[in-house]
Amino acid sequence: MLEGREGAGLAAARLTSVSNVVGDVRMHGLIGGARRGTSHPLVFVHGLGVSSRYLAPTMAVLAERHIVTGPDLPGFGRSASPKHVLSFGQLVDALAAWLDARAIGPAVLIGNSLGCQLIVELARREPGRVRGLVLNAPTMDPARRSMFRIIARAALDIPHEPFALAPIVIGDYLRAGPVRILRTLRDALDDRIENKLPGITVPVAVVCGARDRIVSVQWCEELARLVGTAVDGSRGASFHLVPHGAHALPFEHPHTCAAFIESLVSRVSP
């Protein structure tokens, strides 16, 4: 828990709220770091129903050396809600549009949960935008790929998450609303991240918490093996296990996650 509290304090000091009109929706996000960052920008993408706020601790740790940003996707967090619930593909479109609006060039993308599915799809569609991928607790585990199982596993995960996460998640869920969350989940269940990873040719890291009840360690290990040959000649993804981690790794273990991201960045081409 100490690590998470330290990360939360850094977030307040190092990150700034920004907003841009993307299409017909105003999107909010967090940004930090000097323009003279030491590598490609780092873009953080949140999971289902939540926002960039729970990613902020890890973002803040990395903001000392890198440009970091994390949008709230339309309908989530502090971003405005479109007239209809966006499909999975439209959420990917919104992510790409946010990057354009912020003039963010080729970047390392860091996802958590559903955010992993979104960044892999963006890398598949527009590989020129992506220099590396970090997949923290990537969904959807085939053994748990149903709405009932995901909801049940999410409930089981709650006792393993830090208490300080609760007000963030509850607030974000209330803003998003059950209809948007469930429709987005239904759409995401049809996405097959495992079919896309063999075609990914940028460096990839897969990170998993040993106490995660939503995705299994076995599933994360399998995803790491599925990744194709990267441009640096490496085969598959690096795999990292956080022994005391649950699903919201970037919130609870910001320094650990930041170290894994730095390791991935060291493999990224200029």
Q: What is the pLDDT of residues 205-219, one digit of tens each?
A: 999 999 999 999 999
Q: Identify the band that residue 190 occupies on the pLDDT scale cut at 50, 70 and 90.
A: very high
Strand-strand pairing, 107-112 and 130-136: parallel
- pTM score, two decimals? 0.93
Select the more confidently predicted residue: 235 or 74.
74
| pLDDT of res. 37 | 56
25-39, 59-73, 197-211: segment of lowest average pLDDT = 25-39
Answer yes or no: are the C-beta atoms of 185 and 48 closer than 8 Å: yes
What one-letter code names the amino acid at 9? G
Select the more confidently predicted residue: 37 or 150.
150
61-65, 80-84, 233-237, 247-251: segment of lowest average pLDDT = 233-237
Mean pLDDT taken over the chain = 90
Residue given tokens 């199982």 in the structure block: 149
**pLDDT(230) > 70:** no
Domains of the chain: 2-265 (3.40.50.1820)
| pLDDT of res. 232 | 62
Work out the average pLDDT over 9-23: 79
Question: pLDDT tens digit string along 116-155?
Answer: 999 999 999 999 999 999 999 999 988 888 888 899 888 8
Work out the average pLDDT over 212-241: 85
